[in-house]
């Protein structure tokens, strides 16, 4: 299976992309198409030992930087690696496209090249919950402003993602709110609630507070992109802070250091659960193709994780199921 990778997306491009592509090709046999400046990529790929791996290069002469304004920069740089990669996806050259580049530019290019009229694309991110389970938060930054019907679309698309990614036949869908009662929330939540409640294609369980979501009471948590993005970034920051506190406490003196050695095996699963590198990138649902976006600060491990996630999800048949759901939405 071929995965198209924007080789000029990370803050330190293209080294993390090349390293991640080599790791994914070696450990998982994933075929990778690196999209970017070939004169730069070719010697680096060869020097890194990737010459004999199933990794090819597709030239794109321009780069969208993190500081670029998405719309203006895309128009000034039509041959940018992100746009070229999505065009390859549109042509069927790969099963999925992965970028760690400018998220606004990714949203704009995906909407422009892979647009499905009448559907609002949304980012879906898995977060850890109690007892090792996970739940999907959608949207996570693609849409700052939303209408109630957009959140219903997110619920439907998020349910398909949960079915394929979490392997849950009938995902429980909750609406993020500041209280469980039906009348709680802002205007958007109050207007969305009855729409979800009336939709028989959604297993809607009502308003959900963050504490219930992290307790494992929901499989898909629906919200607007502004709120979802803040929730995601706050969760990541607090998780890393707590892990840092534990590390400091367990290495404060000789006795605690010895104790840390004893509990280190028990902490490994927790670190893995909180590590964003395990997933690498989040899918942008609602476009005509599988598009994944990740952090600009991603290292090679995160890029490899994104390629693995994209490959597994593509193999699950999610695109066909998503297209079916989108067709039903548009009826």
Instruction: Supply the pLDDT for residue 325.
Output: 94
pTM: 0.88
- Residue 322, domain member (yes or no): no
Question: What is the full DSSP assignment across 252-277?
Answer: SSHHHHHHHHHHHHHHHHHHHHH-GG
pLDDT of 70 strictly over 90: no
**What average pLDDT does the structure give for the chain?**
91
- Which residue has 């003196």 as its token pair? 253
Residues 104 and 219 in one domain: no
| Cis ω for the linkage preceding 225 (within 30 of 0) | no
Tell me: do 76 and 9 sit in the same domain.
yes
Question: 8 and 104 share a domain?
Answer: yes
By the 10 Å C-beta count (0-12 exposed, 13-18 middle, 19+ buried), 1 is classed as middle
The pair phi, psi for residue 130, each rounded to 5°, is: -60, 150
Same domain, 36 and 80: yes
Sheet holding 96-99, edge to edge: 55-59, 31-36, 2-6, 96-99, 291-293, 282-285, 122-128, 134-138, 220-222, 172-176, 203-208
Least confident of 109-123, 206-220, 277-291, 310-324: 277-291
Q: Do residues 173 and 233 share a domain?
A: yes
What is the average per-residue pLDDT within 281-303?
93
For 29: left if phi > 0, alpha if psi spans -120 to 50, otherwise beta; the answer is left
Q: What domain range includes position 105?
A: 1-119+286-317
Task: Domain count for the chain, please give it.
Answer: 2
- Total residue length of the chain: 331
Distance CA 35, CA 305 (A): 18
Share of the chain above pLDDT 70, in %: 95
- In this predicted structure, what is the pLDDT of residue 103? 85
Specify the pLDDT at position 267: 63
Do 5 and 137 lie in one domain? The reply is no
In sequence order, what are the residues at sequence separation of 6 or more whose Cβ sits closer than 8 angstroms to the Cβ of residue 12?
Answer: none
Q: Looking at residues 111-134, what average pLDDT do you find?
A: 92
Higher pLDDT, 239 or 165: 165
**Of all residues in the chain, what percent carry a pLDDT higher than 90?**
72
Provide mean pLDDT across the span 152-164. 97
pLDDT at 266: 64
- pLDDT tens for 206-258 read 999 999 999 999 999 999 999 999 998 888 788 778 777 877 887 777 777 77
At 183, the pLDDT band (50, 70, 90 cuts) reads: confident
> What confidence score (pLDDT) does residue 263 get?
72
């Amino acid at each position: 299976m071929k995965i198209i990778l924007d080789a000029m997306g990370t803050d330190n491009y293209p080294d993390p992309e090349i390293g991640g592509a080599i790791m994914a090709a070696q450990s998982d046999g994933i075929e990778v198409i690196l999209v970017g400046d070939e004169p730069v990529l070719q010697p680096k790929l060869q020097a890194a030992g990737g010459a004999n791996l199933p990794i090819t290069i597709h030239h794109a002469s321009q780069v969208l930087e993190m500081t670029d304004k998405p719309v203006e920069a895309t128009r000034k740089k039509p041959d940018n690696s992100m746009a070229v990669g999505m065009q390859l996806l549109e042509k069927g050259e790969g099963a999925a496209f992965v970028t760690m580049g400018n998220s606004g530019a990714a949203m704009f290019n995906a909407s422009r090249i892979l647009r499905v009229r009448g559907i609002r694309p949304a980012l879906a991110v898995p977060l850890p919950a109690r007892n090792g389970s996970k739940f999907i938060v959608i949207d996570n930054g693609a849409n700052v402003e939303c209408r109630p019907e957009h959140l219903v679309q997110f619920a439907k698309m998020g349910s398909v993602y949960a079915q394929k990614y979490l392997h849950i036949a009938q995902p429980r869908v909750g609406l993020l709110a500041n209280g469980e009662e039906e009348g709680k929330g802002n205007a958007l939540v109050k207007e969305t609630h009855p729409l979800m409640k009336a939709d028989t294609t959604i297993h809607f369980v009502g308003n959900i507070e963050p504490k219930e979501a992290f307790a494992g009471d929901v499989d898909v948590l629906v919200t607007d992109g502004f709120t979802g993005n803040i929730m995601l970034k706050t969760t990541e920051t607090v998780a890393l802070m707590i892990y840092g506190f534990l590390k400091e406490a367990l290495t404060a003196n000789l006795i605690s250091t010895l104790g840390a050695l004893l509990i280190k095996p028990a902490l490994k699963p927790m670190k893995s659960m909180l590590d964003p590198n395990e997933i690498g990138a989040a899918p942008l649902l609602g476009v005509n193709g599988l598009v994944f976006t990740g952090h600009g600060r991603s290292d090679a491990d995160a890029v490899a994780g994104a390629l693995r996630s994209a490959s597994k999800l593509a193999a699950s048949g999610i695109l066909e199921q998503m297209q079916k759901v989108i067709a039903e939405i548009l009826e």
